Structure 1
Amino acid sequence: MMYGLAWDTSTPLAFATSILPILLIGLTVTVKAALAGFAIAIVMGLVFALLRRSRIRAVSWTTAFVVEFLRDTPLLVQLFFLYYVLPDYGVVMPAFLTGVLALGLQYSAYTSEVYRGGIDAIPRGQWEAATALNLSRLTVYRDIVIPQVVPRIVPAMGNYAVAMFKETPVLSVITILEMLGLANMIGEQTYQYLLPLTMVGLIFLLLTLICSAAIHQLERRLPKAGVPLK
């Protein structure tokens, strides 16, 4: 029994029907964690990408080190560090916030490389024209660079969004009861793992298919010439 629900294991259909509500609760946690983490990733990724292009070497080199560190260390290690090590130094965060930050920070390292590739693809002549017109760096990035970068990076960003949904089960190690964690708990209580895990796999499949379809639609609708920001 969990959340006041008793599992009906008399038939596979009855069992599936009885555990579906609890799995849907886990699904909401999964979706919230993935969306919040992705929001952090796309914002911090852009920040990292711009800082790496700084003319101040101390800033660009430090940012490059942070990005490589985040990208080259396992998410599990980062989760343990944030959740179990930082409290020793007075930094205590709720489990859900910790999980979202860990997801967002690691994937910000990936998205920063996507942004960097998109920015580097801008023709050199446009940078030279902006310099000749004496445009500020803010104006160049806001009105020229970012609008052209967005359509180019949508497919890669979509891949990372899908990957982030599939990474959320890792959050169970810091007590976040997302969908897979709840399925395992149901299996432990009923000694029947096949149906709960199969249902979770199918839900993840449906979720990623919906996400992929949305990304494809967005990619088709965005103007190839660039996205006006004002």
Structure 2
Amino acid sequence: MKVELLIPELQFLNDEGAQVGVWELSRVFLETLIEESGENQKVKAIFPDAGAAALLKYQWTDAKFGCASLGDRNPVDKEDEIVVMIIPDYQMLEKVEIIANQLSDDPPRPLIMWNPRLVSGDIGVGFNVRNLRKMFLSTFTTVYSMKPLEAGAIFRSYPGMWKVFYDDVTRPNRYLLAKELQVAPTSTDIEMIFSELAGESEKKGEASIIDQAMGVFRSFNKFMKAISK
């Protein structure tokens, strides 16, 4: 399973103090998972590097879950019933795949990736490597996703459909539903949805902040097409 909170505050882990907030938020997720799945479930949290795992294990002495890192020789124990990878990095993809295969043995154990960063925008990454990443990620089901847009948001809570929202100009910080989709919308899908909304707005003779977002989507589309060649 995959859980995505694609908000700006969680995307720039190199910023000073950013990681502290991310780790604290991940703890909220882990503790909620334990509450919902049962106190007797043994949950293991796997962090991207050994330094973070060691620090958090030292600080979170009262945590009801175990801590390990992707760099550990054996991050998953036989007793672990649910494994949660916290922001696994694309540089550790091979290790992530090994753990996923290990957990798929009989009986299979749940693997949750929380805000994975397994896809890199690095133009130097080869085509075959990108395809392998896509194939691996396609085996996961996104059970929760939230991503803000320039003038709206994308949301999904399993087993519900993917929903694209746009800003309600009459009510600040509120959204209106634009469209529901069976699969995750691509940047092209989003551009088309907002183009249709902008067209409807023009017919009504109304000014809309939707129009302001269109240039952003078009620029993003060009960028994505460029790096995927």
Q: TM-score range by the shorter chain?
A: under 0.3
Larger strand share, 1 or 2: 2
Q: Normalising to structure 1: TM-score of the pair?
A: 0.25
Structure of larger gyration radius: 1
Return the structure number with greater relative CO, CA threshold 8 A, min gap 6: 1
Q: Normalising to structure 2: TM-score of the pair?
A: 0.25
